[in-house]
Protein backbone atom coordinates (compact mmCIF):
# COMPACT_ATOMS: atom_id res chain seq x y z
CA UNK A 1 0.00 0.00 0.00
CA UNK A 2 1.20 3.49 -0.94
CA UNK A 3 0.09 6.41 1.23
CA UNK A 4 0.32 10.16 0.68
CA UNK A 5 1.46 12.58 3.37
CA UNK A 6 -0.41 15.88 3.68
CA UNK A 7 2.23 18.48 4.68
CA UNK A 8 2.38 20.61 7.81
CA UNK A 9 3.50 24.24 7.52
CA UNK A 10 5.71 26.02 10.05
CA UNK A 11 6.15 29.79 10.21
CA UNK A 12 9.61 30.98 11.24
CA UNK A 13 11.20 34.38 11.83
CA UNK A 14 13.62 33.50 9.05
CA UNK A 15 10.84 32.09 6.80
CA UNK A 16 10.04 33.05 3.22
CA UNK A 17 6.53 33.85 1.96
CA UNK A 18 7.36 32.34 -1.42
CA UNK A 19 7.65 28.86 0.10
CA UNK A 20 4.10 28.99 1.40
CA UNK A 21 2.83 30.37 -1.90
CA UNK A 22 4.26 27.34 -3.71
CA UNK A 23 1.87 25.20 -1.65
CA UNK A 24 -1.00 27.70 -1.64
CA UNK A 25 -0.47 28.74 1.99
CA UNK A 26 -0.06 32.26 3.43
CA UNK A 27 2.57 33.32 5.95
CA UNK A 28 6.34 33.41 6.32
CA UNK A 29 6.76 29.66 6.02
CA UNK A 30 10.25 28.45 6.83
CA UNK A 31 9.65 24.71 6.95
CA UNK A 32 7.21 22.40 5.22
CA UNK A 33 7.12 19.07 7.05
CA UNK A 34 6.45 16.80 4.10
CA UNK A 35 6.53 13.50 5.99
CA UNK A 36 6.49 13.40 9.77
CA UNK A 37 5.40 10.97 12.45
CA UNK A 38 6.91 13.17 15.17
CA UNK A 39 4.68 13.23 18.27
CA UNK A 40 4.48 17.04 18.22
CA UNK A 41 3.82 17.51 14.48
CA UNK A 42 2.41 14.66 12.42
CA UNK A 43 1.49 14.85 8.78
CA UNK A 44 -1.93 13.46 7.90
CA UNK A 45 -1.75 10.17 6.01
CA UNK A 46 -4.18 9.48 3.15
CA UNK A 47 -4.75 6.50 0.88
CA UNK A 48 -5.44 6.75 -2.86
CA UNK A 49 -9.15 7.34 -2.18
CA UNK A 50 -8.46 10.24 0.17
CA UNK A 51 -9.30 8.27 3.31
CA UNK A 52 -7.21 8.77 6.43
CA UNK A 53 -4.80 6.04 7.45
CA UNK A 54 -3.61 5.77 11.05
CA UNK A 55 -0.01 6.28 12.11
CA UNK A 56 -0.43 3.46 14.62
CA UNK A 57 -1.01 1.05 11.75
CA UNK A 58 2.10 2.28 9.95
CA UNK A 59 4.20 1.78 13.07
CA UNK A 60 2.98 -1.81 13.38
CA UNK A 61 4.03 -2.52 9.78
CA UNK A 62 7.41 -0.81 10.13
CA UNK A 63 7.94 -2.23 13.66
CA UNK A 64 8.96 1.07 15.26
CA UNK A 65 7.62 2.98 18.25
CA UNK A 66 8.26 6.20 16.32
CA UNK A 67 8.34 6.50 12.55
CA UNK A 68 12.03 6.84 11.72
CA UNK A 69 12.07 9.34 8.84
CA UNK A 70 11.30 13.06 8.73
CA UNK A 71 11.47 15.00 5.46
CA UNK A 72 11.24 18.80 5.21
CA UNK A 73 11.28 21.49 2.53
CA UNK A 74 13.15 24.55 3.86
CA UNK A 75 13.57 28.03 2.40
CA UNK A 76 15.21 30.98 4.12
CA UNK A 77 15.34 34.74 3.88
CA UNK A 78 17.62 35.15 6.95
CA UNK A 79 20.16 33.11 8.87
CA UNK A 80 18.96 30.20 10.97
CA UNK A 81 20.49 29.97 14.43
CA UNK A 82 23.98 28.56 14.91
CA UNK A 83 23.02 25.18 16.32
CA UNK A 84 23.96 21.58 16.98
CA UNK A 85 22.09 18.29 17.40
CA UNK A 86 22.79 15.40 19.80
CA UNK A 87 24.04 11.97 18.78
CA UNK A 88 22.25 8.74 19.70
CA UNK A 89 23.82 8.41 23.14
CA UNK A 90 23.05 11.98 24.19
CA UNK A 91 19.53 11.83 22.74
CA UNK A 92 18.65 8.62 24.59
CA UNK A 93 19.58 10.27 27.89
CA UNK A 94 16.69 12.71 27.39
CA UNK A 95 14.20 10.05 26.27
CA UNK A 96 14.62 10.27 22.50
CA UNK A 97 14.94 7.06 20.44
CA UNK A 98 17.93 8.38 18.46
CA UNK A 99 19.91 11.49 17.64
CA UNK A 100 19.36 13.89 14.74
CA UNK A 101 21.60 13.09 11.76
CA UNK A 102 20.37 14.91 8.68
CA UNK A 103 21.10 15.25 4.99
CA UNK A 104 20.52 18.35 2.90
CA UNK A 105 19.89 18.47 -0.85
CA UNK A 106 20.25 22.02 -2.12
CA UNK A 107 17.64 23.32 -4.53
CA UNK A 108 19.25 26.76 -4.32
CA UNK A 109 22.73 27.27 -2.89
CA UNK A 110 24.34 30.00 -0.84
CA UNK A 111 26.53 30.54 2.22
CA UNK A 112 26.17 28.58 5.44
CA UNK A 113 27.98 27.78 8.68
CA UNK A 114 29.84 24.48 8.40
CA UNK A 115 31.39 23.54 11.73
CA UNK A 116 33.71 25.12 14.26
CA UNK A 117 37.29 26.13 13.57
CA UNK A 118 40.07 24.20 15.29
CA UNK A 119 40.41 25.35 18.88
CA UNK A 120 36.98 27.00 18.94
CA UNK A 121 35.58 24.82 21.74
CA UNK A 122 38.37 25.82 24.09
CA UNK A 123 37.86 29.48 23.19
CA UNK A 124 34.12 29.16 23.84
CA UNK A 125 34.82 27.59 27.26
CA UNK A 126 37.00 30.61 28.04
CA UNK A 127 34.28 33.09 27.12
CA UNK A 128 35.14 33.98 23.53
CA UNK A 129 31.96 34.93 21.63
CA UNK A 130 33.49 36.39 18.47
CA UNK A 131 31.45 34.07 16.29
CA UNK A 132 32.88 35.19 12.96
CA UNK A 133 36.31 33.99 14.07
CA UNK A 134 35.02 30.74 15.61
CA UNK A 135 32.89 29.42 12.74
CA UNK A 136 33.72 27.89 9.38
CA UNK A 137 31.70 29.31 6.48
CA UNK A 138 31.14 27.43 3.22
CA UNK A 139 29.43 28.03 -0.12
CA UNK A 140 27.14 25.34 -1.54
CA UNK A 141 25.55 24.94 -4.97
CA UNK A 142 22.28 23.67 -6.38
CA UNK A 143 22.43 19.90 -6.82
CA UNK A 144 24.90 19.37 -4.00
CA UNK A 145 24.25 17.45 -0.81
CA UNK A 146 25.67 17.60 2.72
CA UNK A 147 25.44 15.10 5.55
CA UNK A 148 25.30 16.78 8.96
CA UNK A 149 26.59 14.38 11.57
CA UNK A 150 25.34 15.04 15.11
CA UNK A 151 27.88 17.26 16.81
CA UNK A 152 28.48 19.38 13.68
CA UNK A 153 27.80 23.04 14.46
CA UNK A 154 25.85 24.52 11.56
CA UNK A 155 23.52 27.26 10.34
CA UNK A 156 21.69 27.57 7.04
CA UNK A 157 22.24 30.99 5.52
CA UNK A 158 19.88 33.44 3.78
CA UNK A 159 18.31 32.75 0.38
CA UNK A 160 18.92 28.99 0.53
CA UNK A 161 16.36 26.35 -0.43
CA UNK A 162 16.77 22.68 0.38
CA UNK A 163 15.16 19.34 1.12
CA UNK A 164 16.13 17.87 4.48
CA UNK A 165 16.13 14.13 5.15
CA UNK A 166 16.64 13.16 8.79
CA UNK A 167 15.79 10.82 11.60
CA UNK A 168 12.59 11.86 13.36
CA UNK A 169 13.84 14.18 16.07
CA UNK A 170 13.33 17.86 16.80
CA UNK A 171 16.08 18.28 19.41
CA UNK A 172 18.08 21.38 18.53
CA UNK A 173 20.47 23.30 20.77
CA UNK A 174 21.07 26.91 19.75
CA UNK A 175 24.56 28.30 20.31
CA UNK A 176 23.84 31.73 18.88
CA UNK A 177 20.83 33.40 17.25
CA UNK A 178 22.20 36.58 15.67
CA UNK A 179 20.91 38.75 18.57
CA UNK A 180 17.24 38.06 17.76
CA UNK A 181 16.26 37.46 21.40
CA UNK A 182 15.27 33.80 21.16
CA UNK A 183 16.33 31.33 23.84
CA UNK A 184 19.74 29.71 23.40
CA UNK A 185 21.06 26.50 24.95
CA UNK A 186 24.79 27.14 25.37
CA UNK A 187 25.58 24.45 27.95
CA UNK A 188 23.63 21.74 26.10
CA UNK A 189 25.24 22.79 22.80
CA UNK A 190 28.73 22.66 24.31
CA UNK A 191 28.06 19.14 25.59
CA UNK A 192 27.19 17.96 22.04
CA UNK A 193 29.48 20.05 19.83
CA UNK A 194 32.56 18.67 18.09
CA UNK A 195 35.14 20.38 15.91
CA UNK A 196 34.02 18.63 12.74
CA UNK A 197 32.68 19.80 9.37
CA UNK A 198 30.50 18.42 6.59
CA UNK A 199 31.73 17.99 3.03
CA UNK A 200 29.48 19.20 0.17
CA UNK A 201 29.22 16.67 -2.67
CA UNK A 202 27.36 16.28 -5.95
CA UNK A 203 24.37 14.28 -4.81
CA UNK A 204 23.22 10.99 -6.28
CA UNK A 205 23.18 8.71 -3.24
CA UNK A 206 24.08 8.77 0.43
CA UNK A 207 24.33 5.78 2.75
CA UNK A 208 24.70 6.28 6.51
CA UNK A 209 24.34 4.07 9.58
CA UNK A 210 20.81 5.49 10.10
CA UNK A 211 19.33 5.86 6.62
CA UNK A 212 19.95 5.80 2.89
CA UNK A 213 18.79 8.46 0.40
CA UNK A 214 19.10 8.19 -3.37
CA UNK A 215 18.05 10.31 -6.33
CA UNK A 216 15.92 8.55 -8.95
CA UNK A 217 14.15 9.54 -12.15
CA UNK A 218 10.67 8.51 -13.39
CA UNK A 219 9.61 5.96 -10.77
CA UNK A 220 6.77 3.54 -11.60
CA UNK A 221 7.02 1.11 -8.67
CA UNK A 222 7.62 1.76 -4.97
CA UNK A 223 9.70 -0.64 -2.92
CA UNK A 224 8.49 -1.85 0.51
CA UNK A 225 9.33 0.16 3.62
CA UNK A 226 10.44 3.22 1.71
CA UNK A 227 9.56 6.90 1.69
CA UNK A 228 9.52 8.78 -1.61
CA UNK A 229 9.68 12.52 -2.20
CA UNK A 230 8.30 13.37 -5.63
CA UNK A 231 8.22 16.77 -7.30
CA UNK A 232 5.56 15.70 -9.83
CA UNK A 233 3.41 12.68 -9.03
CA UNK A 234 0.11 11.03 -9.84
CA UNK A 235 -1.81 9.45 -6.98
CA UNK A 236 -5.48 8.51 -6.76
CA UNK A 237 -6.04 9.90 -10.27
CA UNK A 238 -4.79 13.31 -9.10
CA UNK A 239 -1.65 15.10 -10.25
CA UNK A 240 0.51 16.66 -7.52
CA UNK A 241 2.91 19.22 -8.98
CA UNK A 242 4.44 20.32 -5.68
CA UNK A 243 6.89 18.32 -3.55
CA UNK A 244 4.88 15.47 -2.02
CA UNK A 245 5.99 12.62 0.22
CA UNK A 246 4.67 9.06 0.03
CA UNK A 247 5.08 6.16 2.43
CA UNK A 248 5.33 2.72 0.86
CA UNK A 249 4.51 0.05 3.43
CA UNK A 250 4.60 -3.10 1.31
CA UNK A 251 5.35 -1.70 -2.15
CA UNK A 252 3.17 -1.24 -5.22
CA UNK A 253 2.55 0.75 -8.39
CA UNK A 254 3.50 4.39 -8.03
CA UNK A 255 3.98 7.12 -10.64
CA UNK A 256 6.53 9.87 -10.07
CA UNK A 257 7.65 11.90 -13.06
CA UNK A 258 11.19 13.26 -13.10
CA UNK A 259 13.26 13.93 -10.00
CA UNK A 260 12.37 11.61 -7.11
CA UNK A 261 14.12 10.94 -3.81
CA UNK A 262 13.91 7.56 -2.09
CA UNK A 263 14.65 7.18 1.63
CA UNK A 264 15.10 3.77 3.22
CA UNK A 265 16.65 2.08 6.20
CA UNK A 266 20.34 1.17 5.74
Return the exposure string of 48-65: e unless at least 16 CB atoms fall within 10 Å of the residue's CB, then b.
beeeebebeebeeebeee
DSSP class of residue 150 equals T
**Local structure of 122: helix, strand or coil:** helix
Give yes or no for a contact between 35 and 45, defined as CB atoms under 8 angstroms apart: no
- Residue of 129, 174, 180, 182 marked catalytic: 174
Q: Is 174 a catalytic residue?
A: yes
CB 163 within 8 A of CB 146: no
- 210 Cβ partners below 8 Å, 6+ apart? 68, 98, 101, 167, 266
Cα 103 to chain center, whole Å? 7
Catalytic residues: 174
Amino acid sequence: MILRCRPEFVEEIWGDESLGKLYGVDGEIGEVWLCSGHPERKTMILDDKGERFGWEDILKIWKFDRFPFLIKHIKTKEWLSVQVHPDDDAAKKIGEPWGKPEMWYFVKGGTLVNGLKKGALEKLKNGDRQWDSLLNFANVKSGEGMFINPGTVHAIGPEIELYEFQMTSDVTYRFYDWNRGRKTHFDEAMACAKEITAEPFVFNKLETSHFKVELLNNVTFADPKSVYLSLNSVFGNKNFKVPTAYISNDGGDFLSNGMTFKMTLP
